[in-house]
Amino acid sequence: MQQEVDLESYQPKVLEIVQAGAPVLCEVAAPVDRVLIRTDRIQHLIKDMQSTMYAAPGIGLAAPQVGVSLRIIVFYLPSARDASGIGVPLTVLINPEIDRIGDELAVDWEGCLSVAGKRGKVARHEMIRYRGFDETGNLVSRDAVGWHARLVQHECDHLDGVLYPALMKEEDELLDVEVWRALQEKQ
Ligand code: NI
C-alpha cells in the first residue's frame, strides 16, 4: 500500500557527522536532478541535515558531512556574525554555484563540524554572488559579503571534496579550539 507523503509529521533525525579522513569528504558530490527535489528522500535528507546542524551546534552543513555525496548545503547566519546586523535565515541550496566578485580577500578563523575541535585561518573572497535551488525547487540568488560569503564558500567547498585546512597557508597553524579561545580572549 502506498503511503501518503506527510512532511509535516516527519520527525527529523540527528545524523552522525563524518570526520576528516572519510573518503566521502574527498569526493566531488553529484548534482541533484531538479525533478527529484520534492521526493521524500531529498526532503527528509534536508530536514535531517537541518536538525543535525542545529544539534551540533553549527551554522552550516553539507550533505557529504552526513555521508551523502549530493550537492546540498544548509546554513544560516546569526545576526551577531553578520556585518549588516540582520543575519541570514535558514537557507537550503541545492546544486549551488558561486561567482567570486572582485579580488578582495579576507582572512578569518574557521571551524568545521568535520574537523572537530580545531580552528584555522583561511583567506576567502570577501564578496560573492551565489545561486541554487531551494527545498521547493525555486531558484535562489543572492549577493553575499563577509561571513555570509565565507560560510557559503566553506560549505560549497565540501561539495568539491575540499576541507578548509587544505586552503590554509603553510605558516598558519591548525589550533586546538581551547588554544584558539585563549588566544581570542587575550586580544
Ligand atoms: Ni565544514
**Contacts of 153 by beta carbon, 8 Å cutoff, 6+ apart:** 98, 124, 125, 128
C-alpha 105/C-alpha 176 separation (Å) is: 25
Query: Three cell numbers at 67?
Result: 555521508
Q: Is 154 left (phi over 0), alpha (psi -120 to 50) or beta?
A: alpha
Reported confidence tier of residue 171, pLDDT bands at 50, 70, 90: confident
CA 71 / ligand 1 centre spacing (Å): 14
pLDDT in tens, 35-45: 999 999 999 99
CA 1 / ligand 1 centre spacing (Å): 40
CA 5 / ligand 1 centre spacing (Å): 31
- Answer whether residue 180 shows pLDDT above 90: yes
- Answer whether residue 151 shows pLDDT above 80: yes
Going by C-alpha positions, the residue among 120, 126, 119 that lies closest to residue 149 is 126
CA 169 / ligand 1 centre spacing (Å): 18
CA 2 / ligand 1 centre spacing (Å): 38
pLDDT of residue 22: 98
C-alpha 153/C-alpha 131 separation (Å) is: 12
User: 27 near 161, Cβ under 8 Å?
Assistant: yes
DSSP 116-128: TTEEEEEEEEEEE
pTM of the model as a whole: 0.94
pLDDT in tens, 96-140: 999 999 999 999 999 999 999 999 999 999 999 999 999 999 999
pLDDT in tens, 46-103: 999 999 999 999 999 999 999 999 999 999 999 998 888 899 999 999 999 999 999 9
- Answer whether residue 1 shows pLDDT above 50: no
| Percent of the chain residues past pLDDT 70, beyond the cut | 96
From the list 110, 155, 171, 185, the catalytic residue is: 155
Reported confidence tier of residue 6, pLDDT bands at 50, 70, 90: low
CA 162 / ligand 1 centre spacing (Å): 9
4 is catalytic: no
